[in-house]
Amino acid sequence: MISCLYRQTSHRSLAQERQYNLEKEIKSEAHARFMEMLMAKKKNYYVDNEKFFAEIVEYKKQCKVAEEEGKPKPVLSNYIGKCIYLIAENLAHKPRFMNYSFVDEMKSDAIENCLMYFDNFDSDKYSNPFAYFTQIIYYAFHRRINKEEKNRYIMYKKFQEGILDTTYVFEGFNIDSQSLLLDSADNHVMNTQMYDNINDFIDRFEKREEEKKAKRKEKKEGLEKFVGENDDEGRESV
């Protein structure tokens, strides 16, 4: 009787062990597939920073040889261009940038700035081109946003000042201010919400500009005070 129970228990233990090993194997395979998918996704969205850096180092070597031999500066490799494009494209998809109607102009400005300041990347001191070009692209985006908002402010301000029956020149184009009142779909006069939005935008823009002006003034006064104190100390020591 005892022997029979022992055999049954042993069979159950072996069956349970096989089941456990099978489940473990399935989980392991599933995890491996998941990691493969995750890595594949990362490869699609992120730049290989080490390879990017190696390409830049090689390009700078080619530039040095060309300069020594009196030859024209070589063209950037396709891989370097692709990396810069991918960084700009991915940053443009961030929530803080993706909803701007002029996002294509933002990316164009960013890529142009990257090419303009490419030679400033010192591969002897730094090894993180991803961070360097991300910073250039980030500030290029903000410069375009500031420019577009300033243009929008100028247009809205003219509208607010009541230039409704005249045509004025803006950014090289003749603008019929009366058309700003009309809906492009059915030519009906837009509702008051539109005017409220325009006024809100103008108020926010002017408030932001005043804050910037105050900060610049504060910084300038602080610098003048610092210089004045140093001059006084210099005269006293003489």
Number of independent structural domains in the chain? 1
Task: Tell me the backbone φ, ψ of residue 182, rounded to 5 degrees.
Answer: -105, 145
Question: Which residue from 142, 143, 79, 89 is spatially nearest to 111, judged by alpha carbons?
Answer: 89
Domain contains 207: no
In a 13 Å sphere around the CA of 150, the CA atoms on its Cβ side amount to: 8
Is pLDDT at 118 greater than 70 in this prediction?
A: yes
Task: Tell me the backbone φ, ψ of residue 77, rounded to 5 degrees.
Answer: -70, 160
Rounded percentage of the chain residues whose pLDDT exceeds 90? 43
Rounded percentage of the chain residues whose pLDDT exceeds 70? 58
pTM of the predicted protein model: 0.61
Per-residue pLDDT tens digits for 13-56: 666 666 666 666 666 666 666 555 544 444 445 699 999 999 99
Token output for 180 = 């700003």
Question: Which residue from 111, 77, 119, 121 is spatially nearest to 91, judged by alpha carbons?
Answer: 111
Q: What is the largest CA-CA distance in the chain?
A: 112
Other Cβ atoms less than 10 A from the Cβ of 121: the count is 17
Domain contains 21: no
Domain contains 193: no
Strand, coil or helix: 94 = coil
Distance CA 93, CA 86 (A): 11
Q: Which domain holds residue 72?
A: 49-151
Sign of CA dihedral 81, 86, 87, 93: positive
Q: Across-strand partners of 175? A: 168
Q: Which residue has the tokens 């837009």?
A: 190
Amino acid at site 227: V
